[in-house]
Amino acid sequence: MQLIDCPWCGCREEIEFSYGGQAHIPYPDNPAELNDTQWAHYVFFRSNPKGVCAERWVHSAGCRRWFNALRDTCTYHFIETYRIGESPSFTSASLFPVTESQVSVPTEAGDRKTQ
């Protein structure tokens, strides 16, 4: 039962929030150009790191805003929350390992352009 620091509402109880999986996985620019493997990686494959990872959360019982968070999956503790379109103050290449799933690596964290 953590407190999560909603970038709009401040610290609120964990139960007010919903988890949205790994952050910064942009929708592919042109899905039709991807082969089945690339598409499968977009649809199904997400990092599962033991340690800090960037995730998406939504303050579902509050302001209904999605935001991003850096969280330690070992302690569960939130290191930082930041608004969509913002970059975390803590950036490290290790947080965003370039993998096959990331068919387009975000130039700036949180920036997701498509179509």
Interacting residues with other proteins between 41 and 70 (CB under 8 A) = 41-53, 55-56, 58, 60-66, 70
Q: Any bridge partners for residue 81, and if so which?
A: 69
Choosing from 6, 54, 103, 109, the residue that interacts with other proteins (CB under 8 A) is: 6
Enter the DSSP assignment of 107.
Answer: S
Copy the structure tokens of residue 35. 């082969």
Question: Residue 5, CB half-sphere, CA atoms under 13 Å: how many?
Answer: 11
State the minimum distance, in angstroms, from the CB of residue 113 to other proteins. 8
Q: Is 91 in the site for other proteins (CB under 8 A)?
A: no
Least CB distance from residue 108 to other proteins, whole Å? 13
